[in-house]
Structure 1
Amino acid sequence: MTDQASARAARAAEPYARTVRGSGPGLLLAHGAGGSVEANYGPVLPALAAARTTVGVDYPGTGATPRATGPLRLDDLADELVAAADTEGLDRFAVAGYSLGGPVAVRIAARHPGRVTALLLTATFGHPAPQLRLAAETWRTLAAAGDRDAFARFLLPYALSSRALHALTDAEAAAAVRELAATAPPGAGDHADLVTRADVRADLAGITAPTLVVVTTEDRLAPPPAQRELAASIPGAHVAEMATGHLPFAELPDAWGALMVEFLRATDVSGRAFRHS
């Protein structure tokens, strides 16, 4: 059996849980490492689904999707999300990618240029530069060791902005560590491993869909310079900046949702025009 056939067989044996909300033009949601569709997009789903058929899949080892039996592949995640769109009858769709979901979304836009109407990328990267790669390697090691407390204590300062972290009391910080340790999905280490290998730089120059890159300016996991580098590599990409850490859905959910809705509405009307103030 070829590697491609093996991958197809593995996907068939490990069905991806799907989230579908709303009606109207299609919008695919690619979530981040250690997250899920609900965890990363839940706070903004009502706004996005108000005028869109929003479709997302949970990666292996998170949500209701079983953990994979081998290393994750970017192409497989992209294929599963497109397959979900096909199942829902969506011929064309916008694609939103958050964190690790950014490379997934880019890969979809590169492989299906005639189907992707818009690309929205938030807190993401084109390749794992040293700060992100080193953090993901440590994340992967702690997950493999099964030390949930150490994993949570390591990741929390990367996830929140310094401002948000400083605003927590000692009791609130301890509670946040406990919650993160308790809710970390079994596939989080597998997701982190894919972060260390995800490289879509070769895809960026060929992106033709109207693109919005939301730079999270207080991000300690996906550094803002790397996010801006990604934007500069996509022809005609629009850039909007948000003063948040790596979790815009936790720190500024209303602003994040409104920004994506505004971009989608503008591209619906003009195909490319968008202005953010």
Structure 2
Amino acid sequence: MMAPPMTADPRPPLLLLPGTACDRRVFAPVIDRLGDYPIVCGDMGGAQTMPDLAEAILAVAPPVFLLAGFSLGGICAFEMVARQPHRIVKLALIDTTPRPDPPGNAAMRHKAVADARERGMHSYILDAWPRLVAPVNVEDEALRDTIVAMARDCGLDRLSDQSEVAIHRADSRPRLSAITQPTLVLAGAHEQVCPLDAQHEIAAGIPGAVLHLIEKAGHFAPLENPDAVALHLGRWLTDGSGTVS
């Protein structure tokens, strides 16, 4: 599922968890800006419930690590830190939500998978495109092509599994106050998929958490404004708070 970095670096590695229909490419421009910090990327496949996915990732993760999750990866991060908090040094939550899947959302998810099966994986992204990025990025063809390429490479079977994982997840809001790791919360200022009030809910619920909204970004903040995301993540890596003066 993931290979540990082949290095004698004493720093605990940063484990990155992509979102639905995404892979390492969603973090690529941020990784490029983080210098030589040891990084591994988790595999968000092979399970149909969030508890099973969290356990599968924990089974192959480094013994101790920093954890950053984007979207569905952030939801998985909540589950992982609830299960094995002693292994996680710091926590970063990017464009995600602590909330359970809303009532009735399962039908919408199943329809989206069926539409993608009939019309192609590109439709999964393009049908929702104006909600996925900031208005300033809607016409960015390179950005759109990158996200569509990830979805195509993800494929229908993984999309179906990830949809089930999103449906079968816990309400993490009651667990927020138990999180003791230094926590950074990032979200695009134009986030529409995981609403901004959910970002404030995370930051208010986790003791000491720091929230930064990323300008010129929507749901795909790591791709839309990697400079800002990497700046905050870099500070979080070194000082534990993510605070930028």
**TM-score, structure 1 as length reference:** 0.73
Match for residue 188 of structure 1 among 137, 159, 166? 159
Q: Which amino acid aligns with 1:58?
A: D
Deviation at 1:126, TM superposition (A): 0.6
Asked if 1:276 corresponds to 2:237, the answer is no
Alignment of 1:206-225 (within 5 A): 206-225=178-197
Structure 2 match to 1:12? none
Alignment of 1:165-176 (within 5 A): 165=138, 167-168=139-140
Bigger mean CA offset, 76-85 vs 126-135: 126-135
Asked if 1:233 corresponds to 2:205, the answer is yes
Alignment of 1:127-206 (within 5 A): 127-128=99-100, 130=102, 133=105, 136=109, 138-145=111-118, 147-165=120-138, 167-168=139-140, 179=149, 182-186=152-156, 187-199=158-170, 200-206=172-178
Report SS of the residue matched to 1:143: helix
Q: How many equivalent residue pairs?
A: 239
Report SS of the residue matched to 1:125: coil
Deviation at 1:237, TM superposition (A): 1.1
Does the aligned pair in 1 maintain the 2:69–2:94 contact within 8 Å? yes
Deviation at 1:204, TM superposition (A): 1.6
Cα deviation, 1:44-78, whole Å, max 9, x if unaligned, reads 22344612x32222222xxxxxxx4xx61212222
Report SS of the residue matched to 1:25: coil
Deviation at 1:265, TM superposition (A): 0.3
Asked if 1:82 corresponds to 2:58, the answer is yes
Report SS of the residue matched to 1:142: helix
Distance 1:130 1:154, change over 3 A: farther
**TM-score, structure 2 as length reference:** 0.82
Does the aligned pair in 1 maintain the 2:2–2:60 contact within 8 Å? no
Match for residue 27 of structure 2 among 13, 34, 41? 41
Structure 1 match to 2:234? 261
Match for residue 29 of structure 1 among 4, 7, 16? 16
Asked if 1:113 corresponds to 2:85, the answer is yes
Q: Which amino acid aligns with 2:32?
A: P
Does the aligned pair in 2 maintain the 1:31–1:98 contact within 8 Å? yes
Distance 1:122 1:178, change over 3 A: closer
Does the aligned pair in 1 maintain the 2:19–2:71 contact within 8 Å? yes
Q: RMSD in angstroms over aligned alpha carbons? A: 3.1
Report SS of the residue matched to 1:185: helix
Cα deviation, 1:97-117, whole Å, max 9, x if unaligned, reads 110011111122222222211
Q: Looking at both structures, which has the greater relative contact order when contacts are Cα pairs under 8 Å and sequence separation is at least 6? A: 2
Q: Could you tell me how far apart the structure 2 residues matched to 1:102 and 1:84 are?
A: 18
Q: Which amino acid aligns with 1:154?
A: D
Deviation at 1:252, TM superposition (A): 0.6
Deviation at 1:250, TM superposition (A): 1.9
Structure 2 segments unaligned to the other structure (5+ residues): none
Deviation at 1:168, TM superposition (A): 4.5
Does the aligned pair in 2 maintain the 1:160–1:219 contact within 8 Å? yes
Structure 2 match to 1:58? 43
Q: Could you tell me how far apart the structure 1 residues matched to 2:226 and 2:104 are?
A: 23
Please tell me whether Structure 1 or Structure 2 has the larger radius of gyration of its CA atoms: 1
Q: Could you tell me how far apart the structure 1 residues matched to 2:143 and 2:226 are?
A: 20
Q: Could you tell me how far apart the structure 2 residues matched to 1:96 and 1:178 are?
A: 22
Match for residue 73 of structure 1 among 19, 30, 49? 49
Structure 1 segments unaligned to the other structure (5+ residues): 1-15, 61-67, 268-272
Bigger mean CA offset, 91-100 vs 189-198: 189-198
Q: Could you tell me how far apart the structure 2 residues matched to 1:129 and 1:183 are?
A: 25
